[in-house]
Amino acid sequence: MENHAILVKDYVPRSFGKEYWNVKGPPQYPMFAAVALGLKPVMDDWVDVHDYERLADACAAYGLVMAPDIVFAPVEGSKEGIIGGRNITTTYSRGEKFTGQNTEGQVHILIARDKQAASDARKWAWYSLVINGRSTNKPFVDHLRYGKCLGYPPCCVNFFRTYNNWHLFSNPFETLKNTAFENGNAIGSHYCNNFLMDKGYSYIHHLPCSYRCKASTALAQELEKKLDTLEPAFIQTANRLLRKPLLVFGEQHFAIFDGELQKTAGGASISYRACQYFRNPSRPEENIAFFDEIQAGDALVMNDSHILIKDGTTTIRKAERKKEWFLIDFD
Amino acid sequence: MAAPPPLERAENILGVPLHRTEITLESGEPYDEGASYALSQHFYGKDGELRNAIRNMTRFLAAFARQRQDSQKDAAVLYSLLGNLHYIAGNFNESANCAMRAASLNRSDITYWVELAFSLRALGEFDVFEGILFNFEGIVRLWQQSTAPDLTKEALLSLIKEAKS
């Protein structure tokens, strides 16, 4: 296949939320819109320490306030020797107090319509940062409180409660297993497709309990309806991209295809014109080695044990399949 | 027949398997949220069961503290478990008090300092939370050397100030 076009390009808002986008770019644009439109109580985000005031101004333009939490400062070197290192991802950050005078790093912030809501959410918003060589996890119940504060559906918070341990579970795979298949339809609804959230294309910013979760779909549809009147080009682009089939390797780790998924008795296949690979930046050790071959091919067949990559009638790679990898399409 | 160890009795009272080991600065181990995790999974969202568990643990702990004044480390573990239950219930003043009591009874175990820090964060005391986490080892060592009988909020603020200086 010769077409190496980038499938997922950044969307630049024409008007609504442009001030936010100018500081932060695409990743949480729809969530900012949801908070600004009163559909979501609170969101959390990170902003470069030098852009803190600019983002505060952007929030104020929409009647929103920010509560700063802590600075995620860069770290060089491995996590070996860190107390609690097993609980943090390969790429991790050092915690630094936010003083307003910090010289590097990203401030973790809570954005809400009022100061109290932002401050209340901050109570449960701790992340396992490294401070003086020690990483400390928050009490587990804070994850559940935080999800509730951010407006996640109770069914999804409850699902997270069961499958949150990334040492034991692949969250997307568990979500897939919890998705009721409907004959003749795509596997998931594009309203519950959160894979592109870091590129700014997702109506939800949580791990859904199913790719057809009714509560997540309702939240997504509300946002779609309101934002469509303010930024219709975003909705058109998002709806097109969120319906494209994916090969999922794990959380934030997948390939998107411009093509069609076909389900067969023994597995599934995708014939495609173009594809793009997204790696999980926190877990570089999970990157797959055969994406170049996927890009060189024009079809991919997945069965119980293998992925076959084809170019025309020739198989150009047979890769062993991990059980938690899957193909999915959305309607 | 000897009574079962206090942790085993707490497990029976709460109906949750619990595992606790002492974690010291020297052990190089992080805070183990295993007990907090198990209790959260069992009790979160079950308000009635949680209220009963708090009542039963409080009674057990009061009796234990009366009868077994020689076993301060066990009492500390029980206070910590009760504090965890209060934390899940959203009684953060009570969970902070339990953590301070536990840290008074066993000055080696860092678990109680983490539990105290998060209880204070839940009360909106972000500066004190950060004061503990950013001066963790200093505070724990100062407390180990302190002759004060009980950790109080005032004592905590002094420890943070001293550790910073």
B98 part of contact set with chain A, CB < 8 Å: no
Q: What is the reported pLDDT for A3?
A: 53
A119 part of contact set with chain B, CB < 8 Å: yes
In order of their start, the domains of chain B are 32-164 (1.25.40)
Q: Chain A: residue nearest B31 by CA? A: A136
pLDDT digits (tens, 9 = 90+) for A5-17: 689 999 999 999 9
B134 part of contact set with chain A, CB < 8 Å: yes
Q: Which of B27, B29, B31, B47 would you mutate first to test chain A, the one with the most A CBs within 10 A?
A: B31
Q: A10 to chain B nearest CA, in Å?
A: 36
A83 part of contact set with chain B, CB < 8 Å: yes
Residues of chain B with pLDDT under 70: 1-4
A99 part of contact set with chain B, CB < 8 Å: no
The pLDDT mean for chain B works out to 94
Residues of chain A with pLDDT under 70: 1-5
A84 part of contact set with chain B, CB < 8 Å: yes
With an 8 Å Cβ cutoff, are B118 and A95 in contact?
Answer: no
A4 part of contact set with chain B, CB < 8 Å: no
Q: A320 to chain B nearest CA, in Å?
A: 35
B130 part of contact set with chain A, CB < 8 Å: yes
3-state secondary structure string across chain A: CCCCCCCCCCCCCCCCCHHHHHHHCCCCHHHHHHHHCCCCCEEEEEEEHHHHHHHHHHHHCCCCEEEEEEEEECCCCCCCCCECHHHCCCCCCEEEECCCCCCCCEEEEEEECCHHHHHHHHCCCCCCCEECCEECCCCHHHHHHHHHHCCCCHHHHHHHHHHCCCCCCCHHHHHHHCCCCCCCCCCECHHHCCCCHHHCCCCCCCCCCCCCCHHHHHHHHHHHHHHHHHCHHHHHHHHHHCCCCEEEEECCEEEEEEEEEEEECCEEEEEEEEEEEECCCCCHHHCCCCHHHHHHCCEEEECCCEEEEEECCEEEEEEECCCCCEEECEC
B126 part of contact set with chain A, CB < 8 Å: yes
B-chain CB neighbours of A161 within 8 Å are: 41, 44
With an 8 Å Cβ cutoff, are A126 and B118 in contact?
Answer: yes
With an 8 Å Cβ cutoff, are A144 and B44 in contact?
Answer: yes
A-chain CB neighbours of B87 within 8 Å are: 139, 141
With an 8 Å Cβ cutoff, are B84 and A139 in contact?
Answer: yes
Q: What is the reported pLDDT for A80?
A: 82
Residues A153 and A219: their CA atoms lie apart, in Å, by: 9
With an 8 Å Cβ cutoff, are A119 and B124 in contact?
Answer: yes
Q: What is the reported pLDDT for A2?
A: 47
With an 8 Å Cβ cutoff, are B134 and A161 in contact?
Answer: no
pLDDT digits (tens, 9 = 90+) for A165-201: 777 889 999 999 999 987 778 999 999 999 999 999 9
B162 part of contact set with chain A, CB < 8 Å: no
Select the residue of A70, A119, A140 nearest B36 (Cβ to Cβ): A140
Residues B164 and A318: their CA atoms lie apart, in Å, by: 59
